[in-house]
Amino acid sequence: MISTVISDLGGVLLFSKDKSYKGKLNPVYKEELKKEGFDFFNFFELNNELLEYYASLKEKGVKLYIITEGIIQNDPKIKDDLYKVFDKIYSSGEIGLTKKEVGLYEGILQGLGIEPSDAMYIDDNRDNLGAAQELGIKTILFKNTEGLKEEIQNSHI
């Protein structure tokens, strides 16, 4: 039974306000952060619907974690909102492994004392799902919030 959900941040929980932008969010964040008067929410928006859904899973006892690549999760405008829901946020950049490496998921799960078969990983990039699948983690490719909620519910969490 799935007891742990691990979610990507960018492209799942956090998006560019520019709907045509399809790249990574951390490079934009780092560049805009240098500018005077930077306002986080002029450039980015949280997927509040999914954040609330994750919070409802937490209330049911599901452990929730984020794996992301950079530093955007530490911005004061979103950090508290994320930590109200997620037990811990991991940065693959700080760990020194990419989301395409089995060792990233293996190390995190071992550190948490969680078996791969008890975990689910959600990412918007299909290429990032392979390593988690190889380890035995159930994966879901994020396409939209409604579809994700349905897939999670069908997984009998």
Show the domains of the chain with their CATH numbers. 4-14+46-154 (3.40.50.1000)
Task: For 18-58, give the DSSP string.
Answer: STT--S-HHHHHHHHHTSTT--HHHHEEE-HHHHHHHHHHH
Mean pLDDT over 66-90 rounds to 96
Taking 90 as the threshold, does the pLDDT of residue 145 lie above it?
yes
Whether residue 44 contacts residue 14, with contact meaning beta carbons closer than 8 Å, is answered with: yes
CA atoms of 143 and 79, how far apart (whole Å): 24
157 against 94, higher pLDDT: 94
Residue type, position 85, single letter: V
Exposure b/e, 118-149, CB count within 10 A at least 16 = b? bbbbbbbeeebbebbeebebbbbebeebeebb
Mean of per-residue pLDDT scores for the chain? 96
Taking 90 as the threshold, does the pLDDT of residue 132 lie above it?
yes
Tens digit of pLDDT for each residue in 7-36?
999 999 999 999 999 899 999 999 999 999
Whether the pTM exceeds 0.85: the reply is: yes
The per-residue pLDDT for 157 is 79
